[in-house]
Amino acid sequence: MESEVKDRKTKITKTIICSYRRKIERLYAERLRIYNLYNYENRLKLEGYSLIAGIDEAGRGSLSGPVVAAAVILPCRLFIPYIKDSKKLSSQKRTELYCSILNKAKDVGIGVVEAKIIDRINIAQASFLAMKEAILDLKEVPDYVLVDGFKIPQLNISQIPLIKGEDKSISIAAASIIAKVYRDNIMIQYDQKYPQYLFKKNKGYGTEEHLKALLKYGPSEIHRKSYKRVMM
């Protein structure tokens, strides 16, 4: 009987040790991933740049509401685990990281361009405009920017455009989270005014339910009327 109790305790101890070991291994792997995400920022700091902003936008493919851009400047070697492309995170995790980034970032700027302007100048130009507004919203002008996607035209700041930048730059990944959560909150507020389109659920994107509501009720004031799927 005594040996059985001892064996049971030994098994429990081994299980606890294995569990802690797995946690440590996961945390180490995450630290290494975050460290690698600083490659562009570290390289630019070695070249003498001190205020490096990552820029990304959210809402480009939505049928309604604004396009929102964020510019984020992070301190050197800040470790916030699980920062990545906002599309690869759950809603709850995005919100947690959104709060952490706002609390720990050196600076955060937001740019918002509404649907009426998107219709007037097209979504590509509206995205660039939102990015410029996000930069202007920063307390200090960055001396270098890392941009998700394509180069921002007519910007008097040195920049590097990165395709799938959220997977290559910690600052862009942080900006993608800020832009996504900020825009989602806007669409949740719009849901109170236009509940028939289920914006709280679809955030303005072309889900089956959203398209059915468009057929039934027609476009609202915040729909992008230059989009074919909206006016069908």
The tens digit of pLDDT for each residue in 104-124 reads 999 999 999 999 999 999 999
Residue 149 has pLDDT above 60, yes or no: yes
Is residue 2's pLDDT more than 80? no
Tell me the mean pLDDT in the region 48-67.
97
- Let me know whether 133 and 88 are in one domain: yes
Which pLDDT value is given to residue 27?
73
- Are residue 92 and residue 196 in the same domain, yes or no? yes
pLDDT recorded at residue 4 = 62
Contacts of 104 (CB under 8 A, 6+ apart): 74, 75, 78, 80
For the chain, the domain total comes to: 2
Q: What range defines the domain where residue 148 resides? A: 40-231
pLDDT at residue 29, as a whole number: 79
Asked whether residue 6 falls in the same domain as residue 114, the answer is no
Same structural domain, 71 and 186: yes
Q: Do 115 and 18 belong together in one domain?
A: no
Mean pLDDT score of the chain: 92
CATH code of the domain covering residue 216: 3.30.420.10
Note whether 32 and 49 are same-domain residues.
no
Q: Which of the two residues, 8 and 194, has the higher pLDDT score?
A: 194
**Residues 14-38: pLDDT tens digits?**
666 666 667 666 777 788 889 899 9
Can you give the pLDDT at residue 77?
Answer: 83
Express as a percent the part of the chain with pLDDT over 90: 81
Residue 112 and residue 9 share a domain: no
For the cut 90, the answer to whether the pLDDT of residue 224 exceeds it is yes
